[in-house]
């Protein structure tokens, strides 16, 4: 009897887990602060369902979108959700490096009349790796003034990828780190196939030096609520560098 009960409970647990997974949203939108929102889509990485965070900002001149959904089925649902939630349309999209979890929706959004941006280096790597490309190219670190908000792009050096940039909102002290910065709970620096394992440490130190006191730090694939993510990533990169130099 006990064995039958245990079997029944296990079956019920497995069924409930599968049901829960099937009903998990493909797109999640969370409020950060003021006019700033984090959107999350999901994809598989090494057999695990992995979140990919992006950000958008509501301005008087439309919505600014940072990076595009990793899940290709969510390009339009994100636009629709923003329109429904804020009665605003996306007018600009900026991708922070060439990997698909940042750039996959660029061509789709360009066809929708949205201005799409990457750096020249990102465009070069996107072309080389057959990834989606933007319409407009940033030649150097640039300050954008859109509506009531101002932000700057910053290239700190080769880290997660050769071209990774971060975004900084000075007034709000928001640092959008993309995939360069890992979450405070991360056990490692994630995918390193296009990384510079020696320079990663100094690149993150450059970010820390330029933006020493961020109030919010947004990371791509981990919890973005913990602002210790940059310091933790620096320590991970330091250990990685030491390990590589010992070989």
Q: Beta 216-219 vs 143-146: how paired, if at all?
A: unpaired
pLDDT digits (tens, 9 = 90+) for 70-123: 999 999 999 999 999 999 999 999 999 999 999 999 999 999 999 999 999 999
Where would I find the H helices in the chain? Answer: 2-22, 75-86, 100-103, 106-111, 120-128, 200-210, 229-246
- Which CATH class for the 25-246 domain? alpha beta
Residue given tokens 């999640």 in the structure block: 28
CB-based contact 134:97 (threshold 8 Å)? no
- Domain boundaries of the chain, sorted by first residue: 25-246
Residues of the chain short of pLDDT 50, as ranges, are: 1-22
In sequence order, what DSSP letters do the residues of 126-153 get, joined into one string?
Answer: HHHTT----SEEE-SS-EEEETTEEEEE
- Give residue 50's pLDDT: 86
Quote the CA–CA distance of 118 and 98 in Å, as a whole number.
8
CB-based contact 41:29 (threshold 8 Å)? no
Quote the CA–CA distance of 110 and 233 in Å, as a whole number.
33
**pTM beyond 0.85:** yes
Order of strands across the sheet that contains 115-119: 27-33, 36-45, 48-59, 62-66, 90-94, 115-119, 136-138
The angle, 0 to 180 degrees and rounded to 10, between the axes of the packed helices 200-210 and 229-246 is 150
């Amino acid at each position: 009897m006990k064995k039958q009960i245990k079997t029944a409970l296990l079956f019920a647990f497995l069924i409930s887990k599968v049901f829960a997974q099937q009903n998990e949203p493909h797109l999640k939108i969370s409020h950060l602060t003021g006019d700033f929102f984090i959107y999350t889509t999901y994809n598989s990485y090494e057999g695990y369902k992995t979140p990919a965070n992006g950000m958008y900002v509501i301005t008087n001149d439309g919505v600014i979108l940072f990076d595009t959904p990793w899940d290709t089925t969510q390009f339009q649902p994100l636009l629709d959700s923003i329109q429904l939630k804020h009665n605003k349309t996306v007018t600009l999209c900026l991708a922070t490096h060439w990997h698909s979890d940042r750039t996959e929706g660029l061509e789709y959004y360009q066809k929708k009349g949205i201005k799409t941006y990457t750096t020249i280096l990102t465009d070069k790597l996107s072309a080389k790796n057959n990834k989606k490309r933007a319409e407009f190219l940033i030649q150097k670190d640039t300050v954008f003034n859109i509506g009531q908000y101002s932000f700057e792009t910053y290239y700190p050096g080769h880290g997660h990828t050769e071209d990774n940039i971060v975004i900084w909102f000075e007034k709000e002290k928001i640092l959008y780190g993309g995939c360069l910065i890992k979450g405070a709970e991360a056990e490692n620096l994630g995918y390193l196939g296009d990384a510079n394992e020696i320079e990663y440490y100094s690149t993150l130190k450059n970010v820390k030096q330029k933006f020493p006191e961020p109030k919010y730090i947004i990371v791509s694939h981990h919890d973005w609520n913990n602002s210790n993510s940059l310091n933790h990533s620096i320590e991970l990169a330091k250990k990685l560098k030491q390990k590589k130099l010992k070989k």
